[in-house]
A = this chain, B = another copy of it.
Amino acid sequence: MNIGQAAAASGVSAKMIRYYESIGLIPAADRTDAGYRTYASKDVHTLRFVRRARDLGFSVEEMAELVALWNDRDRASADVKAVALRHIADLDHKARELQAMSETLKHLAESCHGDDRPDCPIIDSLASAETFPAPKRAKTVAFFRRHPGSPIHPAQGRVR
């Protein structure tokens, strides 16, 4: 199986497969004499594992931990759980940050007439401050992920 087929079979783009190999997340694939990477079902299995971890928002670093634990027969499920719980905390933390922003904006938007006149509490709030919710410059630890499969787009952003 060439990389394209492995990509289709795993849901990880060929680009990302090469990238994951380059950073050591997955082992280097075997090569044909011509230099083409070849993949066996076992490799696709690993790629699927990675894709699913990615779909759950794990960072590459965390995925590396998970893959290592997966390959470790003597792992303690407590270790896996610890990685998961840490990530859950990150996800919840970020979700809360986003919700807080959303709610602040919703309150402001509610009292905005949304007509042809310029008066707008949203703009006023940005301009005035005071009532502004003190943003807790938390040490955001985790990161977001884009969407998995193929139709992806490079998303990004700060987490503030």
Specify how many copies of this chain sit in the oligomer.
2
Report the minimum CB–CB distance from A64 to chain B (whole Å): 13
The residue on B at minimum CB distance from A143 is B157
B160 and A140: CB pair below 8 A?
A: no
Q: Which residues from 92 to 113 on chain A have a C-beta closer than 8 Å to any C-beta of chain B?
A: 92, 94-95, 98-99, 101-102, 104-106, 108-109, 112-113
* A66-79 Cβ-contact flags toward B at 8 Å (1 or 0): 10011011111110
Complexed CA–CA distance, A72 and B119 (Å): 11
Scoring A66, A91, A127 by chain B CB atoms within 10 A of each residue's CB, the highest score goes to A91
Write the residues of chain A forming the contact surface with B, with a CB cutoff of 8 angstroms. Answer: 45, 48-49, 52-57, 59, 66, 69-70, 72-78, 80-82, 84-85, 87-88, 91-92, 94-95, 98-99, 101-102, 104-106, 108-109, 112-120, 122-123, 125-127, 129, 132, 135-140, 142-160
